[in-house]
Amino acid sequence: MLPLAAPAEDPNLELTLKVLPALVVILIAAAVCGRLARTVGQPRVLGEMVAGVLLGPTLFGQVWPDAQAKVFPDEVVPVLYILSNIGLTLYMFLVGAGIDHGSKVPGEGRRAGLLAVSGIGPAIALGFVTGALLWGTLSRDDVGRWEFALFLGGALSLTAFPMLARILYERGLENAPLGRLSLLAASVDDAAAWCLLAILSAWHLGTGPGGALRTIALAALFAAVMLVVVSRFLRPLGREVARTGKLGPNALYLVILVALASGWITDWIGVYSVFGGFIAGFAMPRDAAFREALHSRMMGVVSTLLLPVFFAFSGLNTELGGITGATMLLAFAAIMAAGFCGKYFGCAFAMRGLGFGWRDAYAVGGLMNARGLMILIFINIGLAQGMITRELFAMLVLVAVLTTAAAVPLYRLALPERLERAARAPDESEPLVEAA
């Protein structure tokens, strides 16, 4: 029998023996916190987000610093970063692939567009003003006032589209006017925010105005090629999956190759791989059977293995202890108020203007205000590219946790079970109006 190589004799084995325990700890923490979140009526992803923060310096590093240093040594962090990048690219690919472009109800696209503008416009405006006021307090020295303000506005304008979809499907509201409008508007909001982030990345990383314009032009060209040319070549794949009802190994190889290659291209362009993954997903066939088959084959592994790694990597960069003192606390309160009010009241007033009752309007405002995983991806890119400080990063992590935790309680407060039942089988030609 051949003897096992000692870790000192095999650097690869030595690294593996450090990475695997870190993954085990991450998955156990994610599973436990996810289960606790479901127990108290919250989505599992909220528990996973909290688990990532707890594994960082905020709790694990404070209570047991030696153990945290052994579980997450310096050489393991780059591996977690790579796994996070792959996971985020594939996750955003699945988000893009899951967006339904069409609407069967006349006028629904216009109403969803109005809701989307009402959700993203006030949030960006309030975030921009708040960022402009806090520039110099929370910004890096090499980031200008308007770039910093636009980044904060873009981060606060996001909605957790995947989490919103899960809540609506679980409650049987995905085909109600309230549910359809929310999903369409959230997808538009997120797409707009990612486009803004691509522009900000090009602005920040470009070598002067010429370099930024080149990056923006290349990103736009990539999106056009994917959505116009590549999408046409993928249509037969959608028809084949619709005919057979399954996504075979060859087709799975192809879609993963498209997703990862797109991420690599956009990384090379300078707008981060998640943008490429999202556009690749958007270019996938629109057949419902294809989307369902793709989701069932990939989402389990991505959400169970790779996303908890991303949450843990984010947690290692989150030091909530830095949010102390009157200045930092007031800055956090201003950011939280801007993010909550812009999204919540903007969406609620828009829903009311579309003919919905106040209860339905505030229910949608609560759901659309949840930022979940999407804002974490957004701010991790900003931190990696040097657009924000660790203090602002920690504040926005806290905003993500609090707004996500508040989404379901606000929804239930506005739309109790007795009123929710009436919304599950509405007349699809008219918006749902609150009963007297």
Nearest to 331 by CA among 260, 280, 393, 284: 393
Share of the chain above pLDDT 90, in %: 41
pLDDT of residue 135: 94
The C-alpha atoms of residue 46 and residue 372 are separated, in whole angstroms, by 7
Tokens of 89: 């690219």
Tens digit of pLDDT for each residue in 350-381?
999 988 889 989 999 998 988 888 888 899 88
Q: Which amino acid is at 87?
A: G
Nearest to 51 by CA among 313, 404, 399, 320: 313
Tokens of 372: 């979940």
pLDDT of residue 348: 93
pLDDT of residue 175: 66
The C-alpha atoms of residue 41 and residue 336 are separated, in whole angstroms, by 23
Tens digit of pLDDT for each residue in 52-62?
999 998 889 88
Q: pLDDT confidence of 273, banded at 50, 70, 90?
A: confident
pLDDT at 171 over 80: no
pLDDT of residue 19: 94
Tens digit of pLDDT for each residue in 386-423?
899 999 999 999 999 999 899 889 988 998 877 777 66
The C-alpha atoms of residue 94 and residue 288 are separated, in whole angstroms, by 13
Q: pLDDT confidence of 329, banded at 50, 70, 90?
A: very high
Q: pLDDT confidence of 285, banded at 50, 70, 90?
A: very high
Residue 125 or 432, more confident: 125
The C-alpha atoms of residue 32 and residue 38 are separated, in whole angstroms, by 10
pLDDT of residue 208: 55
pLDDT of residue 291: 86
pLDDT of residue 433: 36
Q: pLDDT confidence of 111, banded at 50, 70, 90?
A: confident
Tens digit of pLDDT for each residue in 308-321?
999 999 888 888 87
Place of tokens 């920690």: 394
pLDDT of residue 428: 41
pLDDT at 174 over 70: no
Q: What secondary structure letter does DSSP report for 57? A: T
Domains and CATH numbers, the chain: 12-422 (1.20.1530.20)
Residue 119 or 169, more confident: 119
In total, the chain counts a number of residues equal to 436
pLDDT of residue 92: 85
The string over 148-178, giving b where at least 16 C-beta atoms fall within 10 Å of a residue's C-beta and e elsewhere, is bbbbbbbbbbbbbbbbbbbbbeebebbebbb
pLDDT of residue 161: 76
Average pLDDT over residues 81-101: 85
Tokens of 229: 């040319």
The C-alpha atoms of residue 270 and residue 204 are separated, in whole angstroms, by 10
The C-alpha atoms of residue 44 and residue 63 are separated, in whole angstroms, by 25
pLDDT at 164 over 60: yes
Average pLDDT over residues 91-118: 77
What's the start-to-end Cα distance of the chain, in Å? 80
pLDDT of residue 321: 77
The string over 216-246, giving b where at least 16 C-beta atoms fall within 10 Å of a residue's C-beta and e elsewhere, is bebbeebbeebeeebbeebeebbebbeeeee
pLDDT of residue 1: 45
pLDDT of residue 381: 87
Q: pLDDT confidence of 432, banded at 50, 70, 90?
A: very low
pLDDT of residue 104: 56
The C-alpha atoms of residue 315 and residue 408 are separated, in whole angstroms, by 24
Over the chain, what is the mean pLDDT?
85
Average pLDDT over residues 230-258: 90
The C-alpha atoms of residue 358 and residue 30 are separated, in whole angstroms, by 37
The C-alpha atoms of residue 115 and residue 117 are separated, in whole angstroms, by 6
Packing angle between helix 145-156 and helix 372-384, nearest 10 degrees? 160
Tokens of 380: 């991790």
Specify burial of residue 12 (Cβ count, 10 A radius: 0-12, 13-18, 19+).
exposed
Tens digit of pLDDT for each residue in 193-238?
877 887 888 777 765 556 667 777 888 899 899 999 999 999 999 8
